[in-house]
Structure 1
């Protein structure tokens, strides 16, 4: 069984500028100490450049691989490939890639991009093929719909052992098809397994989720509601975002049943605890992924079910402190032991 865990880097818009550099360094160190393979670095029109943030993470750690979000609208595929190979040359380290097809719709419109959802995936496929060909040391000629290059060669070359892992959103049919075409790991926002027929549940690939686990379930839920309180302003922002979003995963999550009831009032299904799948942070516009909340054993049992369905990659939400990553590590340890047994 293969298991890869990524954390997520704080966003510059959420941290005072004078403290952001150290926040990146600290989160990178926590992630490495917790055993994460890498750390996702977001990109959009409102935050610091992900390549500069990635280099900061690299200089603060010994082996952590930044998982850089790559938006084709922002730069030519040669430039993105050059970033990967230059970091490899300067630091002897690998950078992993989270290929984007979409993003915030208003961000794309502001950049003059009104490409439709499925066409954006077609563009990302073409972009990634050029970029990865360059990183493999090929001389690339490509006459495509979105990009045209002729006898293009990358320097400095990227060593084979520092080639990037490639991830891409795989919640929509277009995303899954793109992942298959470029050989990327499709990442989806997972379904609540209690509501999903095992025969119909997606298998393999990776999932994006948060984990809040403690020895005691009540303590875990207390932490969860304290960290992500009900917020009317956030709910309004969430509703507004829904109206302009064409994201498949955004609408997919929004269709799920809302969970507002305190855990003590919910029905128990396993270990005397409620179901751990929770959309509170998503519905209050505090995070874009579902969470698993509960005792270490209960959350580990749920993670084990994803592992049994072939999930090999977990991308965790932004950790508030090293303790949180430690609890997540305990969950993965128990889950892998259960599946192995």
Structure 2
């Protein structure tokens, strides 16, 4: 069966460097566009390059690629986000998508004095995006009286035509995150559990909801299972400290962190393909699907058959990475 789905890769994270320069950001964006990716996910945290700067660099080097830019409510007021979205979409005549985040790094929340708890941050994010959408929908004055934001007669002249308005991705699997998706989201995204658990814990509670489903995973696929597992285990090596950190994450306030950590503690491999090795090695929060091209495609098909239509893939950087992933994705499209 052939499936229709959008694929987003991941922009280079980190500080400015030879590996994270304007040229390398542009080269990765062009590579993703050439392989038919819808866009690239751009992270936000205090250490990385600003996601708006990275998004502008990506857009400048490509013709159709869509930045999926992390929007953190505490980092800027909603009218500034609306102006940035409007400016980029207008200048490049291209949609920019929003990955609405709430802040999962406690140290960074402490640095800015953010005392809101997990559920309050999702509530604030939903209200934030409500204001942003209002400013993108109309040039008229916006009145808003909420718990977190209050505006009277706010005009930013940032109206966009419908085709250029962003799709809003909301990540999480808790009740608070799903409420935010229902309020302002177009796509509900999670780091998935193995397919059977994913169907029960994430898909079933959302049956009938209009939002699209997205998952963030990594693919380590090669011609044979043996080659793929050798690559995965050689690339992601844990140690005593990382295993201790995994155990601590079973008490995280993040619902999906607790779920993935519990899976990792119960065994690193599930269904012969789903692997938590990168998570246990503290080299990413996403699970990996490991195996031959056919085996990984078959496992990924399980998610697509449950209604997933957005794949957010991590660890796809080199020409070789794109070729290996394409061998899997082409099997699902044809």
TM-score (normalised: structure 2): 0.90
1:147-179 superposed Cα distances (whole Å, 9 cap, x missing partner)? 111122233432322111110013111111110
Q: Which string of whole-angstrom CA distances, capped at 9 and with x for unpartnered residues, describes residues 52-83 of structure 1?
A: 01001101111101100000000000000110
Deviation at 1:310, TM superposition (A): 0.5
Q: Residue in 1 aligned with 2:137?
A: 136
Hey, what's the Cα distance between the residues in 2 that align with 1:256 and 1:225?
18
Structure 1 residues 199 and 189 mapped into 2: Cα distance closer, same or farther (>3 Å)?
A: closer
Q: 2:322 aligns with which of 321, 325, 328?
A: 325
Which is worse superposed, 132-141 or 274-283? 132-141
Following superposition, the deviation at residue 216 of structure 1 comes to 1.3
1:1-341 alignment to 2 at 5 Å?
A: 2-13=4-15, 16=17, 19-137=20-138, 139=140, 140-193=142-195, 196=197, 198=199, 202=203, 205-238=213-246, 242=249, 245-258=252-265, 275-337=272-334
Q: CA RMSD in A?
A: 2.3
Q: Secondary structure at the match of 1:212?
A: strand
SS in 2 for 1:313: strand
Label 1:186 to 1:22 Cα distance change in 2 as closer, same or farther (>3 A): same
Provide runs of 4+ in structure 1 moved above 6 Å: none
Give the structure 2 partner of residue 270 of structure 1. none
Distance in 2, Cα, partners of 1:41 & 1:197? 25
> Paired residues, what number?
324
SS in 2 for 1:68: strand
Distance change >3 Å, CA 120–CA 200, structure 1 → 2 = closer
Residues 205 and 138 of structure 1: is their aligned pair in 2 closer, same or farther, counting only changes over 3 Å?
farther
Q: State the SS of the aligned residue for 2:138.
A: coil
Q: Distance in 1 between matches of 2:216 and 2:20?
A: 27
C-alpha distance in 1 between matches for 2:250 and 2:306: 33
- Contact 2:250-2:258 within 8 A present in 1 as well: no
1:218-261 deviation per Cα after TM superposition (whole angstroms, max 9, x unaligned): 11111112221233444455556x38842111111101044878
Structure 2 counterpart SS, 1:255: helix
* Equivalent residue number for residue 207 of structure 2: none
Cα 1:60–1:234 shift into 2, 3 Å? farther
Distance 1:112 1:154 in 2: 28
Question: Within 2, Cα distance between the matches of 1:252 and 1:200?
Answer: 10
Structure-1-length-normalised TM-score: 0.88
The runs of 5 or more residues in structure 1 that have no matched partner are 268-273
In 2, Cα distance between equivalents of 1:144 and 1:227: 47
Q: 1:16 to 1:92 in 2, by over 3 A?
A: same
Moved more, 121-130 or 132-141: 132-141
How far apart, CA to CA, are the structure 1 residues paired with 2:91 and 2:202? 43
Q: Deviation of residue 10 (structure 1)?
A: 1.5
1:176 and 1:53 map into 2 onto residues whose CA distance is 28
| Cα pair distance change 1:88/1:147, threshold 3 Å | same
SS at match of 2:75: coil
In 2, the alpha carbon distance for the partners of 1:163 and 1:129 equals: 13
